[in-house]
Amino acid sequence: MLASVPLSRPHAIAVGSSGVYALDSWRDTVHRLDPQTLRTTASLRLVLPYEIAPGDDAFLPFDIAVGRNAVWVSTARGALARVDLGVSRVAAMLRLHVKGGEIAVGDGAVWLAQGLRGVYRVDPRTNRVSARIRIGPATGRLAVDRPLMGGGNVLAIGSWTQGGVLTGRRGVARIDPNRNRLEAVTPLASGTLAVAFGKGSLWSARVGGSSVERIEAGTGKVIGRFSTDDVSALAVAGGHVWTATRDGTIRRLAAP
């Protein structure tokens, strides 16, 4: 470990060249930390404007992502905030239809998981939703809960539904960001998943399971399966695939 710092109630973090950013969902606050010293250099309390939540301005931050020119924070109350990199002000606030939503930034856009509504594309030049990409027919859509950038595509991970009810089946949809078009959907293991992208592939493991699958981003084919124990988290970094277990063990997989 190179450095550490205590934070009160960290809910989600994002890291970019401009700093480390952390959410305090209890106090509706986003913090900026210096990446070298880990000292908090700025904090900003987020509030919802009256037109989005009349009479109750609690923001309830859900997820955070950092791009080239802004920090993006979603809320459990149907909005997306654009915050400047120095965390001094809210530059824009977008009204959304779905509560919460994880965020990914890439290919000149902000991508937001919106459940049965699929994935929203936000144009950072206009701070407006420029595309809405639904996955599957109305009778059985993929309810997207997490977007990832990988292999030149947007990878939308979610759960299949039937008549609006979750079935327990999971999948990952590949979206072409140049045409905002669904390319294909690949089945994933059912249940709660740990996922990560790296080495040109999507890596997926059932939380509590004993194997990790390597999925080719361009085709959706499973091209490798690796044994491990009791996966709780997954990461790809430094040319290696890493897993964490619920008892605190970190493992590096023998994956090419």
CATH number at residue 72: 2.130.10.10
Domain annotation covers residue 144: yes
Domain annotation covers residue 164: yes
| Residue linked to tokens 């929203």 | 120
Q: Which helix (H) or strand (E) holds 143?
A: strand 142-150
Which residues, in sequence order, are CB contacts of 103 under 8 Å at separation 6+? 63, 64, 65, 72, 74, 80, 110, 111, 112, 113, 147
Mean pLDDT score, 33-56:
90
Q: Tell me how far apart the alpha carbons of residues 100 and 79 are, in angstroms, rounded to a whole number.
A: 8
Q: Answer yes or no: do 215 and 167 share one domain.
A: no
Q: Which tens digit of pLDDT belongs to each residue from 91-108?
A: 999 998 777 789 999 999
Q: Which tens digit of pLDDT belongs to each residue from 54-86?
A: 889 999 999 999 999 999 999 989 899 999 999
Domain annotation covers residue 4: no
Q: What is the pTM of this model?
A: 0.88
Q: Tell me how far apart the alpha carbons of residues 129 and 39 are, in angstroms, rounded to a whole number.
A: 34
Q: Answer yes or no: do 162 and 211 share one domain.
A: no
- Whole-number Cα distances in Å, 16 to 19, 84, 229: 5, 13, 31
Q: Which helix (H) or strand (E) holds 103?
A: strand 103-106
| Residue 206 phi, psi dihedral angles, 5° rounding | -75, 130
Q: Answer yes or no: do 212 and 161 share one domain.
A: no
What order do you get walking across the sheet with 90-95 strand by strand?
A: 61-66, 71-75, 79-83, 90-95
> Which residue, 172, 190, 208, sits at the end of a domain?
190
Domain annotation covers residue 3: no
CA 35 to chain centre: 21
Q: Answer yes or no: do 212 and 137 share one domain.
A: no
Mean pLDDT score, 120-135:
96
Q: Answer yes or no: do 183 and 196 share one domain.
A: no
Token reading at 215: 């999925």
The DSSP symbol for 61 reads: E
Domain annotation covers residue 142: yes
Q: Answer yes or no: do 249 and 177 share one domain.
A: no
Mean pLDDT score, 96-122:
91
Domain hosting 233: range is 191-256
Of how many residues is the chain composed? 256
Instruction: State residue 4's pLDDT score.
Output: 62
